[in-house]
Amino acid sequence: MERSRRSIFEAYISLAVGGFARVWVTKRKEGRAFIEVKYGETGFQEAVDYLNSAGISVGTRSRKYLNFNVNLQQLREKATAHEWLARRLSPESLKSNARAGVSQPSTST
């Protein structure tokens, strides 16, 4: 079991934000990538609505995760929306929400 789990994670790149893994990227066919973002429950529907209104096809899982299948051209075309998402996941944003009494994105899996 350990070997198969390790081989799965060897195919992913992960990004930790504020000490917690928040973003995972893996290669797909034809120059595409699968990106999954652990957004958390706070503001989740707002994020989904914003991304959809920006024309980004976004999937969800467990009302905490956003996922995308994208290529480089799509990332470039929708850079403003993806940058909005990155700002929402920044350590400064997470700290700001904590100071304001807004619950931080859930860290449980």
pLDDT the model gives residue 106: 40
**Residue 42 within any structural domain of the chain:** yes
List, for residues 53-108, the tens digit of each pLDDT value: 999 999 999 999 999 999 999 999 999 999 999 888 876 765 565 555 444 444 33
**Residue 105 within any structural domain of the chain:** no
pLDDT the model gives residue 98: 52
Taking alpha carbons only, the member of 40, 38, 39, 71 closest to residue 57 is: 71
Alpha carbons 38 and 33: distance in angstroms, whole number: 16
pLDDT the model gives residue 33: 93
Domain with 53 in it: what CATH number? 3.30.1360
**Residue 109 within any structural domain of the chain:** no
Residues of the domain holding 70:
12-99
Domain count, the chain: 1
Tokens 């699968």: give the residue.
34
CA 19: distance to chain centroid?
15
Residue 72, classified by CB atoms within 10 Å of its CB into exposed (0-12), middle (13-18) or buried (19+), is exposed
**Residue 104 within any structural domain of the chain:** no
List, for residues 11-66, the tens digit of each pLDDT value: 788 888 778 888 999 999 999 999 999 988 888 999 999 999 999 999 999 999 99
